[in-house]
Amino acid sequence: MKLSELRAQLDSKKIGAVELVHRYLDKIQKNDSSIHSYITVCREEAIKNAGKAQSIIDAGKASPLTGIPLSVKDNICTENIRTTCASKMLENFVPDYNATAVRKLIEQNYVLLGKTNMDEFAMGGSSQTSYFGGVRNPYNTDCVAGGSSGGAAASVAADLCAAALGSDTGGSVRQPSAFCGVTGLKPTYGVVSRYGLVAFASSLDQIGIIANSAEDAGYVLNAICGYDSFDSTSSRASIGDVTEKIGADIKGLKIGLPKEFFSDGINAEVKKAVMSAAEFYENVGCKIIETSLPSLEYAVSAYYLISSAEAASNLSRFDGIKYGHRSDEGDSFNDNISHTRREGFGDEVKRRILLGNYALSSGYYDAYYKNAARIRAQIVEEYNDIFSSCDVILTPTAPTTAYKIGFQENDPVKMYLADICTVTVNIAGLPAVSTTCGYDENGMPIGMSLVGKAFDEKTILSVCDRFEQEFEKLEATI
Amino acid sequence: MKYIPVMGLEIHAELSTASKVFCSCANDFGGGENTRVCPRCSGMPGTLPLINQNAYTLAARAGFALDCRVNNYSAFDRKNYFYPDLPKAYQITQFEHPICTDGFVEVCGGRKIRINRIHIEEDAGKLVHDDYEGVSMADYNRCGVPLIEIVSEADFRSVDEVLEYVEQIALRLKYAGVCDAKMEQGSLRVDVNISLMPYGSEIFGTRAEIKNLNSFKSIKRAIEYEIERQTEILESGGKVVQETRHYNDNHGDTKSLRSKEEAHDYRYFPEPDIPPIFMTDEQINAIKADMPEMPHKRLIRYTDKYGLPEDDARLIIADKALSDFYDKAIEVYPNYKAVSNLILVEVLRNLNDSGISAENLQFTPKSFAETVKMSENGVISKNAAKDIVKILFKKDRDPKKIAEENGFLMNNDTGALEAVINSIISQNADIVQSYKNGNNKVFGFLMGQVIQQAGKSANPQLAKDLLTKKIMEQEG
């Protein structure tokens, strides 16, 4: 059910908020053990908040998300509810502040069902690096859900929430959405405040939305976007009602297909599905333009240097002094934090910290970080170039569909290269939405991404919705 | 061999903002541990820094105070290192693009000390060591207190130059309202880089850095100790090691903290949480236009324009409130020297005795200027002027009224005075004769007699003039 329909049902009392939350909580209890999309389920708070939401609905004062049950990724701070980042380091960390995005949802009296599972500190594309155990794909529990917002995507796909907040640093909302057959929206950098999102790579991180449709994603984005004085990188530009253009005619719209995104590294089934989506758009009157993003071949390297450098610095604060895991070992401060961090972080996080610190070390900074920053500037230029002749860009969301658990998570280079389709969007700070455009021979969803001009969420959501209107989705088996 | 010390300074000054640099916690000194902390300044996960605009303005003011260029574009970087008093494990600072560059301060009669840069950064917390319990505890109150770091070139060649430079910087920052420069509270701290160079050479030796000197005495002693230490090493054929040293105030010596090999690699990179800051020329000029006169310029005004002796001028200028008071007083009564004298003699003494600061003077510059004016115009005596200042220190009042009530107004009645003088002359005919014969010493005795009879309110100048005249008129 669309969020707008759910809203109508709540407002017309066809369904009660408490009844609705129970429906989800029961389903979580029944099904989540097979996919492990939640780290923490907030059962009591959810029921209490649903009751409160109901009284607001009864008073006729409902906001768009009043009484709507959502899940929130476990790297987004929730006051008095533990926020673990799926790490042993923060296993028992309970923030006493809300992320701005969460605060905005609370102001609308949404209902938080729980905190979703993810790759540790959002580093990964499989949600298998979680300290609490990996997430499984609702379409096939032998397969990964993608990541890092794998729990968020799986929770939406398995109907264990109405929609979800995730975070996207290099594709972490879009790729799991593609793998789980749902819609994932990564807004323009600065559109959603990062305050309270535990930082991975500050210049790339953005809170995003995973939902059943582009329209639903826009519906939630409307609630959480906007300038926030708590985040200096938050944008003052208004994006307006992002669902405004949904249903509008897209005839004449120019859709660019950068040829580098359709190279040999992309699975043939994926390419075919995305090309047939392009055909669909051509058939409804859009103009398909072949275009080019020449620097794509350097994008993954640049992304991993910048994101790891920032991550190494951002994660330095986890020293066990004020909060989080603290080792019993070590006689001196340096010794103790070495043990703390050795015990508290998983392998992938350690790998990124090492990589990042290496890239920032004196003598290597120019060769790595500075060059990566140069490529970043180049990619921004190339996108500007493309957008001078296109309205949106169409690419695959990932080179493959969801793979079997254990297939490639232990091969870091393979894992990193799989981010090729998504990272440039973060590097350039652009908005993008991923939706399902087909299924592979095993019935696993294939995702395509629509990338827009900065702050033009409206257009990509409208173009995405147009496709979703015609596309026949297969429900997840779970 | 003889050596010349070559020194460069890094001065950390706390900015006098109301709140911290990246959050809204109060920027204060003292108080209980961890009473001024919030999720932001204690670096809790997910929190973000917010730049305090006022810190930026004050840093720009520091730039103008030290004749720097204030840059349109500046940006923050992260300096990464682990320490328990640094909760984010990085310090937000300005590495590549500082707010101010290229300034200078003249010391010791015209030697120019170049300032390389001034940048903004956040202070770290403090560790409190409990030796009895054998534990260290972190106090984050100071975390996020805004600092500027003023980095000089290695232009110093003597201790005196260093001391005068620090003195001037402290004073200028106070004048600019940038920093209260209370070294004992740590709001101004000095690091000295020092090496020795043989006379006649132009090649600098290997330097040691002495960290966190917080008094003029310790700066002087640390430098002197370090010169001695390095001289001994060089004399005995050894090599000075590049290292960071800690000065121990109790022992008056310095000890190695860490060598070059142990030095941190700070892994600087642009701070992604704070966009670069762009100030327009208009904004920069507005800050410049708002700058008060700096003490070194004021010194020139006082000596060249007002003719005050340099020592007097320095004494007044050393206290901005007092100097501002002087400036307002001379607007009312532009007798520069007389106003300066009474400030130096009587106001300074009363300030010292009462322990109040010049900012908290109870009386107006106008009352003070009028007191000086009465004294200079012979309406009251010099001593009476001092007495009035004492009374003004308790409460501001019209000095004329004070003079009236206390009988300070001098008697300028020539007739009455003449009568007294005539009587004194006739009573002391011998002494008068002796004076006329050239014994000048007795004049004072005669004057004393006159004042005694005429009363304290008698105008001494008038009495003196009349007495001289009357004696001369005597036939003899």
Closest C-alpha to A258, from A286, A298, A295: A295
**Total structural domains within chain B:** 3
Same domain, B245 and B299: no
- Whether the pLDDT of residue B456 is over 80: the answer is no
Residues B261, B242 contacting (CB under 8 angstroms) = no
- Whether the pLDDT of residue B329 is over 70: the answer is yes
Domain that holds residue B340: 293-405
Determine whether the interchain pair A202/B46 forms a contact, defined as Cβ–Cβ distance below 8 Å: no
Cα–Cα dist B99/B118, whole Å: 6
Farthest-apart Cα atoms in chain B, separation: 103
- Give SS3 for A39: strand
Residues A227, A235 contacting (CB under 8 angstroms) = yes
Same domain, B371 and B444: no
Please, which residues 341-380 of chain A have a Cβ atom closer than 8 Å to chain B?
357, 360-362, 365, 369
- Is B437 part of any domain? yes
Compute the nearest-CA separation of B87 from chain A (Å).
Answer: 6
Q: For residue B114, list its beta bridge partners.
A: B104
Is B117 at the interface with chain A, CB within 8 A?
no
How far apart, in Å, are the Cα atoms of A73 and each of A171, A174, B11?
15, 14, 45
Cα–Cα dist A18/A197, whole Å: 28
Catalytic residue (one of A73, A115, A186, A453)? A73
Residues A292, A260 contacting (CB under 8 angstroms) = yes
Nearest residue on chain B to A364, judged by CA atoms? B267
Same domain, B120 and B237: yes
Nearest residue on chain B to A309, judged by CA atoms? B269
Residue A8: CB atoms within 10 A of its CB come to: 13
Give the pairing of strands A69-73 and A163-168.
parallel
Q: For residue A201, which residues of chain B lie inside 8 Å, CB to CB?
A: 272
Whether A245 sits among the annotated catalytic residues: the reply is no
Q: For residue A195, which residues of chain B lie inside 8 Å, CB to CB?
A: 46-48
Cα–Cα dist A411/B203, whole Å: 54
Closest C-alpha to B190, from B8, B4, B55: B8
- Whether the pLDDT of residue B153 is over 60: the answer is yes
Percent with pLDDT over 70 in chain A: 100
- Is B70 part of any domain? yes
Token pair of A418 as six digits: 């799989």
- Is B271 part of any domain? yes
In the listed set B254, B283, B312, which residue is the last one of a domain according to the structure? Answer: B283
Nearest residue on chain A to B90, judged by CA atoms? A313
Closest C-alpha to A426, from A202, A121, A181, A178: A202
Same domain, B146 and B229: yes
Same domain, B310 and B329: yes
Please give the average per-residue pLDDT across B227-233, as a whole number.
95
Whether A172 sits among the annotated catalytic residues: the reply is yes
- Is B157 part of any domain? yes
Please, which residues have CB within 8 angstroms of residue B436's CB and are 6 or more apart in sequence?
A: B471, B474, B476
Determine whether the interchain pair A197/B46 forms a contact, defined as Cβ–Cβ distance below 8 Å: yes
- pTM (two decimals): 0.91
Please, which residues 325-344 of chain B have a Cβ atom closer than 8 Å to chain A?
none
In the listed set B236, B264, B283, which residue is the last one of a domain according to the structure? Answer: B283
Please give the average per-residue pLDDT across B176-203, as a whole number.
94
B450-468 b/e with 16+ CB inside 10 Å = b? bbeebeebbbbebbeebbe
Going by pLDDT thresholds of 50, 70 and 90, the confidence category of residue B261 is: confident
Partner-chain residue, chosen from A229, A322, A361, that has the shortest CB–CB distance to B42:
A322
- Per DSSP, the residues of B35-72 read SS--TTTTT-TT------HHHHHHHHHHHHHTTPEEPS
Catalytic residue (one of A148, A155, A193, A462)? A148
How far apart, in Å, are the Cα atoms of A120 and each of A327, A372, B182, B259, B464?
19, 24, 47, 37, 97
Same domain, B32 and B91: yes
Partner-chain residue, chosen from B39, B48, B89, that has the shortest CB–CB distance to A316:
B89
- Whether the pLDDT of residue B209 is over 70: the answer is yes
Determine whether the interchain pair A232/B51 forms a contact, defined as Cβ–Cβ distance below 8 Å: yes
Q: What angle do CA A229, A230, A232 make, to 5 degrees?
A: 75
Confidence at residue B339, expressed as pLDDT on a 0 to 100 scale: 97
Which CATH number fits the domain that encloses residue B455? 1.10.10.410
Cα–Cα dist A284/A251, whole Å: 6
Confidence at residue A434, expressed as pLDDT on a 0 to 100 scale: 98
Render pLDDT for B94-112 as a digit per residue (tens, 0 to 9).
999 999 999 999 998 889 9
Nearest residue on chain B to A203, judged by CA atoms? B272
Closest C-alpha to B417, from B447, B378, B383: B447
Is B42 at the interface with chain A, CB within 8 A?
yes
Is A83 at the interface with chain B, CB within 8 A?
yes
Compute the nearest-CA separation of A364 from chain B (Å).
Answer: 10
Same domain, B420 and B364: no
Same domain, B19 and B82: yes
Is A333 at the interface with chain B, CB within 8 A?
yes
Token pair of B474 as six digits: 């005597």
Q: For residue B265, which residues of chain A lie inside 8 Å, CB to CB?
A: 361-362
Is A227 at the interface with chain B, CB within 8 A?
no
Confidence at residue B475, expressed as pLDDT on a 0 to 100 scale: 63
Confidence at residue B469, expressed as pLDDT on a 0 to 100 scale: 87
Determine whether the interchain pair B44/A365 forms a contact, defined as Cβ–Cβ distance below 8 Å: no
Is B275 at the interface with chain A, CB within 8 A?
yes
Determine phi and psi for B232, rounding to 5 degrees. Answer: -60, -45
- Is B399 part of any domain? yes
Cα–Cα dist B169/A409, whole Å: 58
Residues A160, A141 contacting (CB under 8 angstroms) = no
Nearest residue on chain B to A101, judged by CA atoms? B46
Same domain, B344 and B451: no
Is A199 at the interface with chain B, CB within 8 A?
yes
- Is B288 part of any domain? no
- Is B47 part of any domain? yes
Please give the average per-residue pLDDT across B336-340, as a whole number.
97
Residues B284, B277 contacting (CB under 8 angstroms) = no
Same domain, B424 and B397: no
Determine whether the interchain pair A317/B87 forms a contact, defined as Cβ–Cβ distance below 8 Å: yes
Compute the nearest-CA separation of B272 from chain A (Å).
Answer: 5
Cα–Cα dist B327/B358, whole Å: 13
Whether A362 sits among the annotated catalytic residues: the reply is no
Determine whether the interchain pair B89/A369 forms a contact, defined as Cβ–Cβ distance below 8 Å: no
How far apart, in Å, are the Cα atoms of B30 and each of B24, B242, B328?
17, 35, 35
Going by pLDDT thresholds of 50, 70 and 90, the confidence category of residue B129 is: confident
First to last CA, chain A: 17
Q: For residue A313, which residues of chain B lie inside 8 Å, CB to CB?
A: 78, 80, 89-90, 267, 269
Mean pLDDT by 10 residues, chain A (478 residues): 96 97 98 98 98 98 98 98 98 97 98 98 97 98 97 98 98 98 98 98 98 98 97 95 96 97 94 98 98 97 98 97 94 93 97 97 93 98 98 98 89 90 98 98 97 98 98 88
Partner-chain residue, chosen from A93, A203, A316, that has the shortest CB–CB distance to B272:
A203
Q: For residue B258, which residues of chain A lie inside 8 Å, CB to CB?
A: none
Same domain, B437 and B351: no
DSSP-derived letter for residue B158 is: S
First to last CA, chain B: 78
Give the best residue of A121, A169, A203, A321 to mutate against chain B (max B CB count within 10 A).
A321
Please, which residues 43-102 of chain B have a Cβ atom closer than 8 Å to chain A?
43-51, 78, 80, 82-84, 87-90
Determine whether the interchain pair A333/B268 forms a contact, defined as Cβ–Cβ distance below 8 Å: no
In the listed set B357, B388, B405, which residue is the last one of a domain according to the structure? Answer: B405
Cα–Cα dist A448/A438, whole Å: 9
Cα–Cα dist A266/A264, whole Å: 5
Nearest residue on chain B to A306, judged by CA atoms? B269
- Give SS3 for A364: coil
Same domain, B171 and B219: yes
Is B300 at the interface with chain A, CB within 8 A?
no
Compute the nearest-CA separation of A204 from chain B (Å).
Answer: 9
Q: What is the mean pLDDT of chain B?
A: 93
Please, which residues have CB within 8 angstroms of residue B356's CB and are 6 or more apart in sequence?
A: none
- Whether the pLDDT of residue B476 is over 60: the answer is no
Residues A402, A139 contacting (CB under 8 angstroms) = yes
Q: For residue A233, which residues of chain B lie inside 8 Å, CB to CB?
A: 48, 272-275
